[in-house]
C-alpha cells in the first residue's frame, strides 16, 4: 500500500513553483478519535515546530494543536475526534530550510460518520 493511500494520512509536497500540494485533498478522516498524519516528502522543507497543521476555525473536533515530530520535522500529527460529518478547512505550513521562507496552503479535512 502506498503512503498516499493509507487511511488518515496526507502526503505533502512542494512543487518547483513553491506551491504546496496535499494528497489527498480533501483528506478523509476514517474512524473516531484518530491521529491524522501529514508526511512532508520534498527535500529542503520542514514543518515548523508549532502550528504546522491548523484548522482555520476553532472546533471541538480538533481539541489540541498539531505537533511536529522531531528530529527531521517532516511529519506532523493532528488529533481529530471525528464525532460527526463535516468539512474543515485547515492551513498547512512548511518552511524552506535554506532561506527560512514560509509557505502555506489551505486544503480540507472531511470527517465522516
CATH number at residue 30: 2.60.40.420
pTM for the model stands at: 0.94
Strands 34-40 and 9-14: parallel
pLDDT of residue 113: 67
Q: End-to-end distance of the chain based on CA atoms, in angstroms?
A: 24
Cβ 110 vs Cβ 30: under 8 Å: no
| Per-residue pLDDT tens over the stretch 40-57 | 999 999 999 999 999 999
C-alpha cell at 65: 494543536
Q: What is the pLDDT of residue 112?
A: 85
- Give yes or no for a contact between 31 and 37, defined as CB atoms under 8 angstroms apart: no
Cell of 24: 489527498
Please tell me the total count of domains within the chain: 1
Q: How much is the pLDDT for 1? A: 36
Provide the residue range defining the domain that includes 33: 3-111
What single DSSP character describes residue 90? E
Could you say which residues of the chain have pLDDT below 50? 1-4
Amino acid at each position: 500500500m502506498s503512503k498516499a493511500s493509507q487511511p488518515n494520512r496526507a502526503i505533502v509536497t512542494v512543487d518547483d513553483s513553491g506551491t504546496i500540494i496535499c494528497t489527498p485533498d480533501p483528506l478523509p478522516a476514517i474512524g473516531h478519535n484518530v491521529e491524522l498524519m501529514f508526511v512532508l516528502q520534498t527535500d529542503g522543507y520542514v514543518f515548523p515546530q508549532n502550528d504546522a497543521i491548523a484548522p482555520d476555525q476553532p472546533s471541538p473536533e480538533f481539541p489540541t494543536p498539531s505537533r511536529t515530530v522531531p528530529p527531521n520535522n517532516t511529519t506532523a500529527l493532528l488529533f481529530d475526534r471525528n464525532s460527526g460529518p463535516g468539512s474543515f478547512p485547515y492551513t498547512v505550513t512548511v518552511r524552506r530550510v535554506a532561506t527560512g521562507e514560509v509557505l502555506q496552503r489551505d486544503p480540507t479535512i472531511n470527517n465522516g460518520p
